[in-house]
Amino acid sequence: MTNENWNQGLTLVIGGTGKTGRRVADRLVKAGRPVRIGSRGAEQPFDWENQDTWGQALQDVTAAYVTYQPDLAVPGAVETVQAFFAKAIASGIEKLVLLSGRGEVEAEQAEQALQATSVDWTILRSSWFCQNFSESFFLDPILAGQVALPVESVAEPFVDIDDIADIAFAALTDSGHSRQLYEITGPRALSFPEAINEIASATGRKITFTSVSLDDYRAELARQGVPDDYIELVLYLFSTVLDGRNIPLADGVQRALGRPPRNFSDYVKQMAATGIWGGNHA
């Protein structure tokens, strides 16, 4: 496989059943590209915690979309992805597209590790996902009508995962994104209370937002049976990443796709129409 036709070969989508990965895989499949899903339950399993699974998953692969679970901020993640980069390059891979986190020191260390390699790369440095409100840990509190989070007025420019998937697909199929770092946000920053209010308005439901202390939030997650390591990750993200550093908007979607990013309001309208949040829907 030569540098000119790496994008015609087999693509490994790590986290191919996750929020971004399944959307990237869907786009590749619809475009007729051969795809291997990288997950613990896949036909050819891939497990970040078991390096013995990496070799088979990488066999005959020319490009990969890399998402680290649960987050690049967890202890040991940077060293693990560095080891994966080395294994992938040794196996003959020619393109790596990394999903990174905005405002995370550890994520930037992972980016630097990839940039220091000899392989072609594209980095997607993303803000928080809109879909966290419909596909992740915010959904149950929204359905219950009471959202309590350890954050007040700090704003976040939530990004629609479909924008991330569109950029990842472009980077995996078009050499024009070679060695580009795209910082990806939505078109406006809004606070969590503002986001919840938009969902309440779109559904015609009463959904209250309460700001709680980190200790109270930790206790509530523990009461729900959330694993300790995941609790610590969530608290880290709320206490560190949501300190105002990520409020400024970035132009990654425009640079990569030549169009503006999707608006949070459009996401809310689309999701409310599905009935996922209850209340009024089409």
Q: Is 205 left (phi over 0), alpha (psi -120 to 50) or beta?
A: beta
Report d(CA 78, CA 71) in Å as an integer: 10
CA distances from 167 to 81, 163, 176, 200, 233 (A): 21, 6, 11, 30, 26
pLDDT of residue 4: 53
Kindly indicate the confidence band of residue 18, based on its pLDDT and cuts at 50, 70 and 90: very high
- Among 35-49, 84-98, 168-182, 268-282, the least confident range: 268-282
What is the average per-residue pLDDT within 55-72? 96
Tokens representing residue 197 in the block: 């209010």
Give pTM, 2 decimals: 0.94
Q: Is the pLDDT of residue 134 over 50?
A: yes
pLDDT of residue 2: 40
Q: Is the pLDDT of residue 282 over 60?
A: no
The single-letter code of the amino acid at 229 is D
CATH architecture of the domain covering 3-130+159-186+248-262: 3-Layer(aba) Sandwich (3.40)
Question: The tokens 């998953």 sit on which residue?
Answer: 57
- Among 40-49, 118-127, 186-195, 226-235, the least confident range: 226-235
CA distances from 55 to 6, 38, 61, 150 (A): 19, 12, 10, 41
Above pLDDT 70, what percent of the chain?
A: 97
Kindly indicate the confidence band of residue 265, based on its pLDDT and cuts at 50, 70 and 90: very high
What is the average per-residue pLDDT within 228-252? 91
CB atoms within 10 A of CB 156: 25
- The torsion angles phi and psi of 177, rounded to 5 degrees, stand at -105, 15
Question: The tokens 């291997």 sit on which residue?
Answer: 36
CB atoms within 10 A of CB 250: 20
Report d(CA 172, CA 220) in Å as an integer: 41
Q: Are 97 and 124 in contact (CB under 8 A)?
A: yes
By DSSP bridging, strand 10-14 and strand 35-38 are: parallel
CA distances from 168 to 120, 191, 257 (A): 14, 27, 10
